[in-house]
Structure 1
Amino acid sequence: MRNAIVLLAKFITCIVAFAVALDLFFDATITDILSFSLLVTIVSYVVGELMLLPRIGNWKAVAVDFLLVYASVWIFGNVVLDNYMQIAWGSIIAAFIILVAEIFVHRYLLNDAESRGRKGVHANRQSFAYGTEMAEEDNIHDLNPKKK
């Protein structure tokens, strides 16, 4: 149920953001708006909420969502709507509108995780497997004595 609420909120926000941003600068059809909304909703949910939010936290995940929306609308808008510079303004407006909504979605997810008994989304944080092993050796030749 939680996933359905989050996906519905993200999809409605994307529809509103793209209707304002793309229809303000372009003659975007409802098909363009719905296809952009569906694409951004699915990619943003998988990358932002499922992969990054549990690992890097709220504000970093919001920043990644902003960049993801901006880049996806600019790239695919350039292909579909055939205007390079104007799509930049449309994508930045849409990214700001979605940024505001993402703050509330992430707060909902964090509060829902706390109400379920976990200590936030970070309770099951899986860190990336990076590690460094260091040692101090005075003389490396002492470790491998020569056989006579």
Structure 2
Amino acid sequence: MKHVKALLIKFVVTLVLLYIILGVMYEMTFGEVFLLSVILGVISYLIGDMLILPKTNNTVATIADFGIAWIIIYWFADGMTRIDNLFAASLIGAIAVGVCEIFFHRYLSNNILPDDEQHDQNSATRNLKYQTEISEELETNEYEDKEKK
């Protein structure tokens, strides 16, 4: 249920942002923006938020989500609409989505993703106890032997 709530938050934010940018500024229809938001939300949630974010940090996941958003918006707008400056439209949309992803990743880290410290303590590799041994050198130095005599 937590993932459904997070996916719904991501969808609503993406829909509002992309409708303002692509719908109002570049005259895409609401249906096209709605479909784009569903596709972008699901793909970026699975790849950027569930695969990349837990293994890396917020910065890397945000850059990945920006790249995913730019590619999907560019591909979708190219196939569905007749936007004159397609590169600028997709870039502006991807930047807006990327900025919101910074805050969404913080939400995911605090509320959805498992706590790393608790996971690390339960891991078998974290429970190993290592001990080092301290001893004197086994070989003697000839210089030290001469001084002792």
Same fold (TM over 0.5): yes
Higher RCO (CA 8 Å, separation ≥ 6 residues):
1
User: Residues 55, 82 of structure 1: CA spacing in aligned structure 2 closer, same or farther, 3 A cutoff?
Assistant: same
Identity of aligned residues (%): 26
Find runs of 4+ consecutive structure 1 residues off by over 3 angstroms: 120-124
Unaligned runs of 5+ in 2: 123-149
User: Residues 105, 121 of structure 1: CA spacing in aligned structure 2 closer, same or farther, 3 A cutoff?
Assistant: farther
What residue in structure 1 maps to residue 96 of structure 2?
97
User: Residues 55, 30 of structure 1: CA spacing in aligned structure 2 closer, same or farther, 3 A cutoff?
Assistant: same
**CA distance in 2: counterparts of 1:121 and 1:53, whole angstroms:** 16
**CA distance in 1: counterparts of 2:49 and 2:23, whole angstroms:** 28
Task: From the CA coordinates, give the structure whose radius of gyration is larger.
Answer: 2
**CA distance in 2: counterparts of 1:78 and 1:95, whole angstroms:** 15
**CA distance in 2: counterparts of 1:113 and 1:81, whole angstroms:** 36
**CA distance in 2: counterparts of 1:122 and 1:90, whole angstroms:** 43
SS state of the match for residue 119, structure 1? helix
How big is the alpha-carbon RMSD for the aligned residues of Structure 1 and Structure 2? 2.5
User: Residues 122, 81 of structure 1: CA spacing in aligned structure 2 closer, same or farther, 3 A cutoff?
Assistant: farther
CA drift at 1:97: 1.7
What residue in structure 2 maps to residue 86 of structure 1?
85
What residue in structure 1 maps to residue 69 of structure 2?
69
TM-score, scaled relative to structure 1: 0.72
| 1:113–1:119 Cα contact (<8 Å) kept | no
Number of residues of Structure 1 aligned to a counterpart in Structure 2? 122
Unaligned runs of 5+ in 1: 125-148
What residue in structure 2 maps to residue 135 of structure 1?
none
**CA distance in 2: counterparts of 1:44 and 1:37, whole angstroms:** 10
CA drift at 1:49: 1.1
CA drift at 1:64: 0.4
Alignment of 1:2-21 (within 5 A): 2-21=2-21
User: Residues 100, 121 of structure 1: CA spacing in aligned structure 2 closer, same or farther, 3 A cutoff?
Assistant: farther
**CA distance in 2: counterparts of 1:55 and 1:37, whole angstroms:** 25
What residue in structure 1 maps to residue 39 of structure 2?
39
**CA distance in 2: counterparts of 1:98 and 1:122, whole angstroms:** 32
